[in-house]
Chain A
Amino acid sequence: MPTMTLAKAINTGLRDALAADETVMLMGEDIGSLGGVYRVTEGLKAEFGGDRVIDSPLAESGIVGASIGLALRGYRPVDEIQFDGFVFPAFNQITTQLAKIHARSAGRLTVPVTIRIPYGGGIGSVEHHSESPEALFAHTAGVRIITPSNPHDGYWMTRRAIECEDPVIVFEPKRRYWLKGEVNTEEPGASADPFRAHVVREGTDATIVAYGPLVPVALAAAAAAAEDGRSVEVVDLRSLSPIDFDTVTASAEKTGRLVVAHEAPTFGGLGGEIAARVSERAFLSLEAPVIRVGGFHMPYPVAKVEGQYLPDIDRILEALDRAFAY
């Protein structure tokens, strides 16, 4: 099994999808000759040509809107939005059109568009390059949202997103693009279904639910907690819409304590949705309220202080402490 970075795994997934289905095409800003600002599409234009790997004009509404038209004509466009903070010119197309066309047509029309968005912070960048806007999209019925935390998922989520008949947004944790791991491009194994959560570390005393960039942080926090004699389970949510509440609830029922961590602000974030569902489903199994760890109610801060904003091991441990204090 080859070992590769997350960026390379997604690149390989895109290449294999382009090779497998001639209706698959990529569109975005600087994705052709440059291979994308993160080089995720590197080499693909050379291999598949400028008709299938398109350096688009600089207009996100145009990228997504045209992709909808291409999908209506039978293509499977895969769009790259250069950074999280630049998806908003396309917000109208995503929320009022892409998400609704299947419902509007009473199931007659499908728009299998994939939108790849590098997201999240921790890269010391300037404004609009570090955001986590996933809740804004998860709140929109009609689009599916997934986010890989490791290269194997990077490959298979890319493949599955493109195959899916629904529109799928893949939020790619940009600070993990260089994370290496084994990728089996032959066998997805447990990654066959991108919409299921994975228990990535077993435990008995508490559960941490995380996704995307925070999965390695949650695992490190669980390892640190183990040194204090606490057995902490970690769930990689993987899919943000739908959310695999069965897996999350089962884990919470087993451990009795749940901490949800994401980089996005806690207010109005997915942690709140998870807390509510788990409380509804497993109230009597809980030893403590579900505790959220996330960003503050503010625009993503400047690079010099992002370390105080982003949930880290200590913030998660502190939340675990509170869960255990009940």
Chain B
Amino acid sequence: MAGQLPTTEFDDIPDALLDELESLAHDRGEGQLGMVQLLDEDGHFNSGSHFSEHAKRLTSDELRGLYRDMATIRRFDAEATALQRQGQLALWVPVRGQEAAQIGSGRATRPEDYLFPTYREHGVALTRGVELGELLRLFRGVSNGGWDPRETNFHLYTLVLAAQVPHAVGYAMGIQRDAARAAAAGRDSGAQAVPSPAVVAYFGDGASSEGDIHESMVFAASFKSPVVFFCQNNQWAISVPTEVQSRIPLHHRAKGYGFPGLRVDGNDVLAVHAVTEWALARARSGKGPVLIEAYTYRQGAHTTADDPTKYRLSEEEQAWLVKDPIARFEKYLRAEGYADDAFFADVAAEGDALAAKSRKDVLAFEAPSLAEAMSHVYAERHPLVEEEIAWHLGYESGFADDESAKEGGH
């Protein structure tokens, strides 16, 4: 089995794991998908996978934390959806259904890692410590960003599909150069090597078709850059199903580029956490990229402007509700005695408090000043921008006298 993969590239991967990945690479009969799964739909733990050991290392606090994160982001998501319905947000991009894919992967990262989201990664934002209310600035129309990526190593949302993925590769190339420079300096000073960070690039099944994804994978493979490509296959790109983007499971593409790819049950937070941790560790150790396809489902609309009844059946939606990531994990936590009613009540109360706070934050956002936005167009002085700011301020204050007006209007 293992011989089918270009093992010269993957010789760091133990045979047993390589065999497991290969056996999971192809779907089995009866609609059984080949994918890494540690918790089945009823919350039963599968201890037979290579990745089971990763999951077993999680403490009970960490396990409860994963649940808390998922429940919190779902509550926040509901509040943001409501805010949009009430006209307080221009748009909202719901994350419901993808909580395990996002919390599991985000929690597998370290503070020094850098993450490039698309626009739906609210759960990942939570794991990075981004103040959730800040996510709403973009959707309220008061900012095109909203948070300082330098504080959390969680990049700004990128709305042009796939455009952030080459950035992730370049960032990873920078990490490689940092490591080389630090090693060179360390030889001189005898200093300890700093832990090597890695990068995660998030994108969707739809975005996977963009040329930028191809170029990113070529670069990352060519330079063996420490980047994990994390594709949330939520089955839909607005109204277009994944089959239109790919005739083969998306993770198979990795092989063609020369790095490992795997599919994980994206509604299984333990499995997602385990495979992401593994891929990041591999990237950190200099073995290059991994493509993770997190197989999940967008339970709601594409955005609040979308109407999924136009293109998908409610039977499909119902079938996926059975696989809900949060319900599944709750069953597991209860069955294993990790959490009780009091814990779940606590989490719900915290979620409500966060929702209330976010709502308050949104209503308090100040409309930005156009002049200030103009002043951020360039890092250095720019005469045209200065002229236009002056004209704009004069115009808005109604003092645009004939003299300044003659210098150019807009």
Contacts and interface: CB of A to CB of B under 8 A. Distances in A.
Given A89-B210, A124-B90, A322 B370 contact: no
A79 to B, nearest CB: 15
Nearest to B139: A126
B82 to A, nearest CB: 18
B142 A302 contact: yes
B353 to A, nearest CB: 27
B142 A322 contact: no
Contacts of B144: 126-127, 299, 302
A62 B209 CA distance: 9
Contacts of A298: 373-374, 377, 385, 388
B161 interface: yes
A75 interface: no
Given A57-B245, A304-B140, A292 B209 contact: no
Interface string B372-391: 01100100001011001000
A308 B210 CA distance: 35
A297 B385 contact: yes
Contacts of B238: 29-30, 34, 37
A309 B209 contact: no
B160 A85 contact: yes
Contacts, number: 133
Contacts of A231: none
Interface string A34-70: 1101000000000000000001111111100000000
Given A292-B410, A305-B373, A126 B240 contact: no
Contacts of A305: 367-370, 373
Interface residues of B, number: 48
A322 B409 contact: yes
B42 to A, nearest CB: 34
A309 B239 contact: no
A86 B311 contact: no
Contact of B368 (A124, A291, A304): A304
A102 interface: no
Given A57-B209, A126-B139, A305-B370, A318 B409 contact: yes
A267 B90 CA distance: 29
A154 interface: no
A58 B395 contact: no
Given A29-B238, A292-B409, A315-B410, A88 B160 contact: yes
Interface in B355-410: 367-370, 373-374, 377, 382, 384-385, 388, 392, 395-396, 400, 402, 405-406, 409-410
Contact of A294 (B143, B239, B395, B410): B410
Given A57-B245, A297-B384, A297-B385, A34 B373 contact: no
B138 interface: yes
A242 B206 CA distance: 36
A61 B211 contact: yes
A56 B370 CA distance: 38
A278 interface: no
Contact of B367 (A297, A299, A304): A304
Given A58-B161, A318-B395, 15 more contacts: A30-B239, A62-B209, A85-B159, A86-B161, A89-B210, A89-B211, A126-B141, A126-B159, A127-B138, A291-B409, A296-B410, A301-B370, A302-B142, A308-B392, A315-B395
Interface of B: 90-91, 138-144, 159-161, 206-212, 237-240, 244-245, 305, 310-311, 367-370, 373-374, 377, 382, 384-385, 388, 392, 395-396, 400, 402, 405-406, 409-410
Kindly list the 3 A-B residue pairs having the minimum CB-CB distance in the complex, ordered from nearest.
Answer: A303-B141, A34-B239, A58-B206
Interface of A: 29-30, 32-35, 37, 55-62, 85-86, 88-89, 124-128, 266-267, 291-299, 301-305, 308-309, 311, 315, 318-319, 322, 325
